[in-house]
Amino acid sequence: MNIQNRIETNVKEGFLALYNIEIPSVEFQATRKDFEGDITVVVFPMLRYKKGNPVQIGGDLGNYLVENVAEITNYNVVKGFLNLVINDAFYTNFFNSIYTDSSFGFVSPIADDKAMMVEYSSPNTNKPLHLGHVRNNLLGFSVAEIIKASGKKVYKTQIINDRGIHICKSMLAWQKYGNGETPTSTGLKGDKLVGNYYVKFDQEYKKEIAQLISEGKTEEEAKKEAPLLVEAQQMLLKWEAGDDQVVSLWTEMNSWVYKGFEVTYKNIGVDFDTLYYESDTYLLGKDVVTQGIEKGVFYKKKDGSVWCDLTDDGLDEKIVLRSDGTAVYMTQDIGTAIQRVKDYADVGGMVYTVGNEQDYHFQVLFLILKKLGFDWAKQLHHLSYGMVDLPSGKMKSREGTVVDADDLMVEMTETAKEISEELGKLDGYSEEEKQELYKTIGLGALKYFILKVDPKKRILFDPKSSVDFQGNTGPFIQYTYARIQSIIRKSDFEYSKSVSIDLHQKEKELLKQLALFPETIQQAATNYSPAIIANYTYDLVKEFNSFYQNVSILGEENEDKKIFRVQLAHKVAETIKSAFSLLGIQVPERM
């Protein structure tokens, strides 16, 4: 049992003894450096169960714990925070209980508990993945791993946007200007080849607009009447009608893109349990509209269109079926959510990883699903994230000014190589080992830079500053892990045994930080925030480096202290590796 669990049990017992009230959980945080104490109980959440002054409640609990728990020797209360002073034996006992637990912090899923489905990536098949997709994928994958570590079963999914006018634009441009070229004949990844024709369409379309304007058309008229756009619209109608030639071309070009996506996903280290395709789901939800009308959730206007009035909920009226009977995106998303629960009966909630420009859409979607009476709709979350900017400005796919995900990963590897060579850290490595390490450092830098920021915040991404071996960066943490591995390799003595020692203050601080890992995972899962894991790991590494600089490890003369310090370093490394696995980041054994 870890420190939080043990004290949580004691606090619950105290609350019951003092007030005859059972509380379901206890919230902890690290004690601030300027106060005496080793771990802090947050009293404010308890006011939901026991009204009163938080300072008085904290004092009552503090007195109870000092009197009834041998390891708690003192306490102080600051506002609504109960700071507990804990003796050394508590920490050494705690450490001995977790040292051999390789899954420390991770909770196994409960067999009958409801699963969560996490959607991320969800690209269009008219272009390759870019920097914006990178943040989406890293966030979605990491949140899925964190929720899994917190004790829930998780399904990772994406919906591939494989239909619509954008896809027809790429198809039409390839037909007109491609001369039959393929990924095989050009040596290009399929998603890049198709993306090139999306850009080509825009270039030729703009030429047609300019020509029509020179002939006297207004800009608005020119945009609507340009022959290329008209032809693309006709192609979409043919696809919807099942035209053999159009569907055949669509199938072939999409297959090129899927193969390209697979390579990118493998390189970036994300995966999926199940895939949905918009071409299969775009008609879903229409049957739900009929049911919604019967329930009074939707209403029909005179022109035959169907709407949902959300004005009483502070939103607006939302169309769910056009007057010609065709569905809108909202209808499709309603149908897809329902279909997923049919496909996976144990799903009890979903997380949608989508940029913050869609905040309102998901507000409406979740509210409509609740009104339709689905219990799982109470467990829907929009993992809303800010855009990623570059020093050079905003990206535009159709103009070909995006930062391609594959190119970015290559650039990160090259940047890691340049900096590593400048620092001269890789003597004695084979060329193959160096290349693998550059990739590990480069991708670690990219992922950590993006994930350490709160998802809601916009990011200005600078590849060079992300690959830094100092400060709050992936490489700094990776380097600390590698340093610990070096200590372990030099430990030519038996250190796998329990010892009991008087703790140095730096050892105690490091143990306190280690003890926060289980609670940190739970907080990150509750808040859908990999940033909580990233910044916890940085704090752990800072504590380790302070410990490393202030106490001798292998040079310690006292055998028990030396054994304990190697064990402590080993557990810190194991926790770094576990935490980074939740972020999808690898750690090198040496650097």
Distances (CA, A) of 142 to 137, 265, 303, 395, 548: 8, 14, 46, 24, 30
Percent of the chain with pLDDT over 90: 81
pLDDT digits (tens, 9 = 90+) for 280-331: 999 899 999 999 999 999 999 999 999 999 999 999 999 999 999 888 999 9
Give the lowest-confidence range in 459-468, 475-484, 503-512: 459-468
Query: What are 253-279's pLDDT values in tens digits?
Result: 999 999 999 999 999 999 999 999 999
pLDDT tens, residue by residue, 43-91:
999 999 999 999 999 999 999 999 998 889 999 999 999 999 999 988 8
DSSP track, 457-511: S-EE--HHHHS-SSSSSHHHHHHHHHHHHHHHHH--S---S----PPPHHHHHHH
Least Cα distance to 397 among 82, 61, 125, 176 occurs for 125
pLDDT band at 2 (very low <50, low <70, confident <90, very high): low
pLDDT in tens, 201-211: 999 999 999 99
Alpha carbon distance 103, 107 (integer Å): 8
Mean pLDDT, residues 112-132: 94
Query: In the chain, where does the domain assigned CATH 1.10.730.10 lie?
Result: 405-582
Kindly report the pTM of this predicted structure: 0.89
Per-residue model confidence (pLDDT) at position 392: 62
Choose between 169 and 71: higher pLDDT: 169
pLDDT band at 423 (very low <50, low <70, confident <90, very high): confident
CATH superfamily for 3-86 is Arginyl tRNA synthetase N-terminal domain (3.30.1360.70)
Q: Is the confidence at residue 428, as pLDDT, over 90?
A: no
pLDDT of residue 583: 98
Identify the CATH homologous superfamily for domain 405-582: Isoleucyl-tRNA Synthetase; Domain 1 (1.10.730.10)
pLDDT value at position 401? 56
Instruction: Provide the mean pLDDT of the chain.
Output: 93
Please tell me the predicted confidence (pLDDT) of residue 375.
95
Q: Kindly give the interhelix angle for 559-582 and 517-527, rounded to the nearest 10 degrees.
A: 10
Name the band, by pLDDT with cuts 50, 70 and 90, for residue 397: very low
Cα–Cα nearest to 355, from 332, 389, 324, 391: 389
The one-letter amino acid at 222? A
CA distance 140 to 145: 9
CATH 3.30.1360.70 placement within the chain? 3-86
pLDDT value for 494: 83
Listed residue (75, 97, 76) closest to 2, CA to CA: 97
